[in-house]
Structure 1
Amino acid sequence: MIPLSLKKIATITNGQLYGKDFIINEIVINTKKITLGCLFIALKGKKFDAHIFIKKAVNKGCSAIISQKKINFNISYIIVEDTSIALGKIAAWIRQKINPKILAITGSCGKTSVKEMTKSILERNAKTISTIDNLNNHIGVPITLMRLTKKHKYGVIELGANNPGEIYYTANITQPNVVLINNIYYSHLEGFKSLLGVSKAKAEILSGLKSQGIVIINLDSNHLSQWKKEIKNKNIFYFSIQKKKKVIFFLLISKYMQTKHLLLCVHRLVK
């Protein structure tokens, strides 16, 4: 990540700084990854509360804490209303500060494979960051974005979800220049209830698309008609296997990406 002062982090997160201000070079959420001088964010979820690990984080050498309550240690800390939201705000600020060209990928299956293939192409031309494994939720996406440095030119970010609204949140943190909806199939129905629910949830990725951005859509997707309003007036590329008579797009990310605009080199095959 890029160095940030505690004062700046407090401003970004709408938090209150207690203690001395100094520069932070690393932010962690797991006490197993504590390094000397890092900042530890005590995340709190429905089934866990990392505030119980603050003492352990301090003992292992962290130099500052982001917490939802005051702490009784001789260490600088920032109090915020919600530590998970604070994590997202820091990630969004770093994304805007570095301003790489970002491709965000979602879909019912194949996201990680497409992510890995795309990264392997992009990193031949410039330093590229991507989602580690499948850490694609409201915690994993910010953690990925916080790894950005001034050397990164591209980012390939996977966005997953189990419930409505989750991709909307991560897409607006990511602010992609290009979005890809790989496919729509039956998945996570306990949260989405139906195939239509899956389709609507995946379409949330469009909410974060930057102005003049590119949308890539699988023409074979179920409930494609539900996206008409969201993709209206967008720069759209389609690809298809089943609808060969209509159009097939074979996507290439080439060294032409070195131009000032994120380019999708598209080869059109019409049968």
Structure 2
Amino acid sequence: MTIEQLHQLFLEFPQVCTDTRKISPNCIFFALKGDNFNGNSYAAEALKNGASYAVVDEGEFAVNAKTLLVKDVLTTLQNLAQFHRNYCKAKVIGLTGSNGKTTTKELITAVLSKKYKTIATKGNLNNHIGVPLTLLSITPNTELAIVEMGANHPKEIEFLCQLAMPDYGYITNFGKAHLEGFGSEEGVIKAKSELYDHLTNHGKSIFFNADDPIQKNKLGSVVEKYGYSQEDNQFFRIKLISADPFVKIAVGDTNILTQLVGRYNFTNCCAAILIGHYFKVDLDKIKEGIENYAPQNNRSQIINKNSHHIILDAYNANPTSMRAALESFHQLKANYKIAFLGDMFELGKTAEKEHQEISDLVTIMNFDQVYLIGENFFKTKGKLNKCKSFDQLKETLKNSTLEHATILIKGSRGMALERILDIL
């Protein structure tokens, strides 16, 4: 079966599923393989549960006309997504960066959806499987698609750009994320810049932070670029008024009070404001979209529990985002501050150095209490409270009386530090 023929089936049954636990009626099931599963073995179950077709790549599972045999299921999914993206008329905005991708994507969506029919990456489905699924969610009515692209090794963004063929793009920042795969901070910059390289090579438009020297220098000779800045009148002016705790922004005479904490969320908002302005969304609608956006899923969430005021930022962490969160927390006005910091993953040979630097930084900040959790933080030098595991932290806090505290919880997803809420 050719991609063109498969696409005709997809137009008739425009729902794709890769998990038999989430089968929707009349969808097409793609039997993907993983380290611990073989989707081919679930094809019959998918059809039984309501799928119209199942795409498989092992002959023994192609038992009837509703099982479509291909050479490789993943490649077929990607090729179908690429074909569908080119078939549809929607403009695609590509988004990547070390920190803030998902929050920025949601803010951009909140703004653009005030004027346009939009779709966007769900959650953080931003890899070689998630991007195709996002592209396949584009409908004939979609005007703008915001596609988040993640990467943990070189050439991954380049590949995702070949699938999504973005018309526009934005990089949130370049930070110390996934150093194990990129090798160095320079490797991060080179890999994330694959989005800007693609856009430049194809004569497309770039949005950027003109106050970021890396982005400004890299895009010096690029013609189709649109930036925002706090000070430079060459670019769209957006000013930070305050972030104590919520980010407040000025665009001309209009003030925007967000539900986002931390100065690091200012640039995430700026991207949405700039892109909304570029697409001629009225400023009052931009303001409405941003002010109504409330973070969820452990991303800079404000939670009031018992007598505590908690900033829950436990979705992910790397040295750059950890430092930004701590600096923002340090600037907050509060009587009693406690920081719970969990290990940062995927740092490779730099893990010891990066964890020690964070430990040294938080020591200087002199919060009332600090708890470092995880094997990497446990190895650091210093006199802070250190727990090798979450269970050890739980035991440590068993006899503690914590009241009326302002608390920061920050760590990598694998640490699942949101569990701290249950023991406070």
TM-score (norm 1): 0.77
Checking the alignment, whether the CA contact within 8 Å between 1:102 and 1:155 is kept in structure 2 is yes
Deviation, structure 1 residue 232: 4.7
What's the % identity of the aligned pairs?
31
Which residue of structure 1 aligns with residue 27 of structure 2? Answer: 38
Q: Which moved more, 1:61-70 or 1:176-185?
A: 61-70
CA distance in 1, matches of 2:98, 2:213: 11
1:168 aligns with 2:190: no
Task: Name the CA shift for 1:21/1:106 in 2 (closer, same or farther; >3 Å).
Answer: closer
Are the aligned partners of 1:103 and 1:157 in contact in 2 as well (CA < 8 Å)? yes
Q: Which residue of 2 aligns with 1:74?
A: 64
Count of aligned residue pairs for this structure pair = 244
Q: Does 1:252 align with 2:271?
A: no
- Alpha-carbon spacing, 1:112–1:194, altered in 2? closer, same or farther (3 Å): same
Partner of 2:108, secondary structure, is helix
Cα deviation for residue 143 of structure 1 reads 0.6
How much has 1:73 moved relative to structure 2?
A: 2.6
CA contact (8 A) 1:42 1:51 kept: yes
Q: Contact 2:17–2:30 (CA<8 Å) still a contact in 1?
A: yes
Q: Tell me if structure 1 keeps the 8 A contact 2:206–2:226.
A: yes
Structure 1 range deviating more: 219-228 or 202-211: 219-228
SS of equivalent residue, structure 2 residue 175: coil
State whether structure 2 residue 92 is matched by structure 1 residue 102: yes
Match of 1:59 in 2: 48
Amino acid at match of 1:236: K
**1:142 counterpart = 2:132:** yes
Distance 1:254 1:183, change over 3 A: closer
Q: Is 1:172–1:207's contact at 8 Å kept on the other side of the alignment?
A: no
Aligned pair partner of 1:217 in 208, 223, 247:
208
Give the superposition deviation at 1:96.
Answer: 1.1
Q: What's the offset of the Cα at 1:81?
A: 2.4
Report whether the alignment pairs 1:192 with 2:182: yes
Structure with greater contact order relative to length (CA < 8 Å, sep ≥ 6): 1
- In the alignment, what sits opposite 1:120? 110
Structure showing the higher helix proportion among its residues:
2
Write out aligned runs for 1:6-21 (5 A): 9-10=4-5
> How large is the RMSD of aligned CA atoms in angstroms?
3.1
Q: Do the aligned partners of 1:127 and 1:154 also contact (CA within 8 Å) in 2?
A: yes
Distance 1:222 1:165 in 2: 23
Query: In the alignment, which residue of structure 2 is the partner of 1:268?
Result: none
Unpaired segments ≥5 residues, structure 1 = 1-5, 13-19, 260-271
Off by >6 Å, runs of 4+ in structure 1: none
In structure 2, C-alpha distance between the alignment counterparts of 1:94 and 1:45, rounded to whole Å: 25
**In terms of mean alpha carbon deviation, does 202-211 or 53-62 score higher?**
202-211
What's the offset of the Cα at 1:59? Answer: 2.2
Q: In structure 2, give the amino acid aligned to 1:164.
A: P
Structure 2 unaligned spans of 5+: 239-272, 282-424
Query: Displacement, 1:201?
Result: 1.0
d(CA) in 1 for partners of 2:135, 2:33: 20
- Shift of the 21–84 alpha-carbon distance from structure 1 to 2, 3 Å rule, reads closer
Instruction: Tell me the TM-score normalized by structure 2.
Output: 0.51
Distance 1:106 1:238, change over 3 A: same
Question: Deviation at 1:256?
Answer: 6.7
Structure number with bigger Rg:
2
Which SS does the other structure have where 1:252 is aligned? helix
Deviation of the 1:141 alpha carbon: 1.0
